[in-house]
Every structure is written in C-alpha cells, then in structure tokens.
Structure 1
Amino acid sequence: MSRTGKKPVAVPAGVTTSIEAGQLSVKGPKGTLAMPLSDEVTYTLEDGSVTVKPANDGKRARAFWGMQRTLIQNLITGVTEGFSKKLLITGVGYRANSQGKTLKLQLGYSHDVDFAIPEGIEIKTPDNTTVEISGMDKQQVGQVAAEIRRWRKPEPYKGKGIKYAGEFIFRKEGKKK
C-alpha cells in the first residue's frame, strides 16, 4: 500500500499558500482557490511545501490523510497549470458551437440544447465535433464535462453520442436475421 499522504506537497515559485479562518488558500498565476480544513488532519506550511499528517491514530483520520494531501495538490496544480477535459461528439448531424457564455449543442433532439457555461470554466470548440473544457477547479471541470455528456451518452450499437477523449465504448452486435 502506498503512502501518498507522507509526501509533502511542493509549492512552486510564484505560488503562495496561507491558512486563515479554517481555510487553506492557494494563490497562483491563474487565480486563487480555497479549501476548508479538516479537523481529522494537521497541516504544516514549511519552506516551499505543505505537509499533511493525521491528527490522531483513528481510522477516520488515516482515511482523510491521503485525500486531503491530494486535494491540496489539485489546488496547486489548478492555480499553476489548470485542468482540462476533451469531449468527442459522434453521430450524423450532432455538433457543438461555443457562442459567448453558452454552448449550443445539436444532438438529434427537436430543439437545440443551450448549455450555460459556469463562471471559472472556459469551453472551446476547435471543430464542431470536439468540445474542450478547461478551468482551475478539477471538480468543476469534471462536473461540467459530465453534465454536457449527460445530454446524449454514447450508445453501444453505433457509438453515437458524447464521449470523453480516450474512452472506450464497448460495442454490441446488432440484431441478426
């Protein structure tokens, strides 16, 4: 079993971290992100790193330990590089177009689907069958991608729908005579 929680999280140059009022805030070139602190874990800000240790020997504290370290790592990665997801649209007549703060999807319904882009998320459509979602918050990027995909999940017979780049769709054999 690996002990991810034992490794300190390195804070790169240009990024500042601070603990105030029960929150860890991270400020970097892309912006600022904050996370509430857990009572199950102790946090230590050292020169150029953040260390996370369980507050006690309880099972709950040990369970929170690695997760809290990963959440801090995601905050630091988010303010420096950001996160992105890529969706691919497959199907005749299925397409997407980003217009200002809305994403217009044509997915075979009798109407177009207008998806309002949340604050802090950037959506690009390099061509009409590709949607690139990017932002600082990993959870928010994944949530937006899941909400867009929910409009037309890929079906197993022809593979039509919205899928993540790199996702394998298990194909079923059609009806036989």
Structure 2
Amino acid sequence: MSRIGKKPVELPSGVSASLSGQTIEVKGPKGTQSFTATDDVTITIDGEAVTVTPRGKSKRALQQWGMSRTVVSNLVHGVQNTFKKELEIHGVGYRAAVQGNTLKLNLGYSHDVDFDIPQGITVACPKPTEIVIEGHDKQEVGEVAAKIRDWRRPEPYKGKGIRYKGEFIFRKEGKKK
C-alpha cells in the first residue's frame, strides 16, 4: 500500500483542476500544467481535493499510484509557486554568467560551454560561482540542473566541479609516497 498515494492532494484557493479521461489539467495564478496518467490509476476530483486510486492490485498499478499522486501534487505546487535548484561551482577559474538566453560556463576546458536555457526556466547567477535555476515544472528544473552539473561533476580528490548547494562530496585520500 502506498502511504503517499492514500493522501488526497488539496487544491488551495485560486487553483482549479479539470479532468478529461486520464488527463488532469491544473490552472493557477502562474499558469496551466497538465499530466496524463496511465490506465493503472483512477484520478477523481472531489470538490477541493484530487484523489488518486489504483485499479487492481498489480505491482505496476501500486507503483503508478504513488508516482501519479506526487506528480499531481507537484502540478498544484507549480501553478502557485516556483521550484528552485541552486548549484555551486568550486575550482580555480571556474565561473558562470548569464548572457541573454544563454548560460556561459567557464569550467577549465579549452573553450567556454554555452548552455541554452529552455523555455519556461529562468537561470540567474547572483555570484560568478553560484547558479540559481527556477521554474514551474519540477521535472524540468531538475533536468536542467542535472545537465548543467554534468558539464563538470565534482571529483573526489579536490572537490572541484559543479555541485548542488549543500551536497556532500565524499573525499578520497591522495597518493602516498
């Protein structure tokens, strides 16, 4: 049984949801988002709450139950607020800057890395060693943060690279004589 799936998703004031088939569309002050659930779950709207229930007791139905409820919850949060990921850059000479719709990363390569910022995502660099990614779609914000981080993952010896804010990097001991 999914403990997450059992809880209904409350719709705050100013947010409305509509259902057509397996597609739920959530409207709020920041925009509209939709999600199409699989046939393994049933989505119902009961006044000011959205409930997700599994169809049957198969393993896949129970897996989709909790996941679908979480996605609906993220939709409701996304049309009301923004999701935010913060990245830190560690390393001598490593820096980032936003120019128009492009994030320019200087990460020790022989060339600068130009990352095109997707539609619906805002990227800011309050300091040359910090990147703040914001958007209304949680999956897209996380995906953009992961793609930026992949350009220079933190290495375990000196800790140089791009890491999430507050992330702990397990350090290894260097070579001994």
- TM-score, L = length of structure 2: 0.96
- Matched residue count: 177
Residue equivalent to 1:173 = 173
Task: Tell whether the 8 Å contact from 2:2 to 2:66 is kept in structure 1 after alignment.
Answer: no
Identify the range of structure 1 (20-29 vs 79-88) with the bigger mean alpha-carbon deviation: 20-29
- CA shift for structure 1 position 66: 1.1
Residue equivalent to 1:147 = 147
Asked if residue 43 in structure 1 is aligned to residue 43 in structure 2, the reply is yes
Counterpart residue identity of residue 65, structure 1: W
Identify the range of structure 1 (162-171 vs 15-24) with the bigger mean alpha-carbon deviation: 15-24
Distance in 1 of aligned mates of 2:7 and 2:26: 18
**Structure 1 gap segments, 5+ residues each:** none
Distance in 2 of aligned mates of 1:130 and 1:116: 17
Residue equivalent to 1:89 = 89
Tell me the secondary structure at the aligned position of residue 80 of structure 1.
coil
Counterpart residue identity of residue 148, structure 1: I
1:28-177 equivalent positions in 2, closer than 5 A: 28-177=28-177
- CA shift for structure 1 position 2: 5.8
Q: CA RMSD in A?
A: 1.2
Tell me the secondary structure at the aligned position of residue 63 of structure 2.
helix
Counterpart residue identity of residue 44, structure 2: T
Counterpart residue identity of residue 9, structure 2: V
**Structure 2 gap segments, 5+ residues each:** none
Tell me the secondary structure at the aligned position of residue 144 of structure 2.
helix
Identify the range of structure 1 (114-123 vs 26-35) with the bigger mean alpha-carbon deviation: 26-35
Per-residue Cα deviation, 1:57-89 (whole angstroms, up to 9, x for no partner)? 323222211111111001111111121100000
Identity over aligned residues, as a percent?
A: 60
Tell me the secondary structure at the aligned position of residue 13 of structure 1.
coil
- CA shift for structure 1 position 21: 5.0
Distance in 2 of aligned mates of 1:161 and 1:59: 40
Distance in 1 of aligned mates of 2:160 and 2:115: 20
Distance in 1 of aligned mates of 2:35 and 2:51: 15
Distance in 1 of aligned mates of 2:85 and 2:76: 18
Per-residue Cα deviation, 1:121-165 (whole angstroms, up to 9, x for no partner)? 000100000000010111100110010001001111111100001
Task: Tell whether the 8 Å contact from 2:22 to 2:39 is kept in structure 1 after alignment.
Answer: no
Distance in 2 of aligned mates of 1:9 and 1:69: 7
Per-residue Cα deviation, 1:8-49 (whole angstroms, up to 9, x for no partner)? 100000011011254111111111111112211111111110
Distance in 2 of aligned mates of 1:105 and 1:61: 43
Task: Tell whether the 8 Å contact from 2:22 to 2:42 is kept in structure 1 after alignment.
Answer: no
**Structure 1 segments (4+ residues) deviating >6 Å:** none
